[in-house]
Amino acid sequence: MAEYDLSALEENIQDITDALYQQRVKEGLETIPLVLKQLSTIAMQLDEEKKTALLSILKNAMDALEEKEYVLLADILYFDVRDCIAD
């Protein structure tokens, strides 16, 4: 997995979580499509176990988004997604 892919993804996750923690919801949500695109690229390089874990985490993130639980969404992105894709 290319290092720049991970660093760009981590930076975008950081931007989203910073905005969501500061209740700048619209700003935070604007970057989510880019992060999803980056995650789909990175997911192709993960083993099946990590892919399954990532899909479960993303389902939880989607549930938080649908319920407008933006701090929970930020926590999921910052802690769970980053831990899952870490080498």
Query: Residue 63: CA atoms inside 13 Å, Cβ hemisphere, count?
Result: 9
pLDDT of the residue at 87: 62
Chain position carrying tokens 């919801």? 25
pLDDT tens-digit map of 59-70? 999 999 999 999
pLDDT of the residue at 3: 46
Instruction: Tell me if the pTM is above 0.85.
Output: yes
pLDDT of the residue at 86: 83
pLDDT tens-digit map of 22-57? 999 999 999 999 999 999 999 888 999 999 999 999
What distance in Å separates the CA atoms of residue 5 and residue 24, rounded to the nearest whole number?
A: 25
Show the tokens assigned to 12.
Answer: 């975008």
Number of neighbours of residue 57 by Cβ within 10 angstroms = 19
Distances in whole angstroms, Cα of residue 59 to Cα of each of 15, 44, 81 = 21, 18, 11
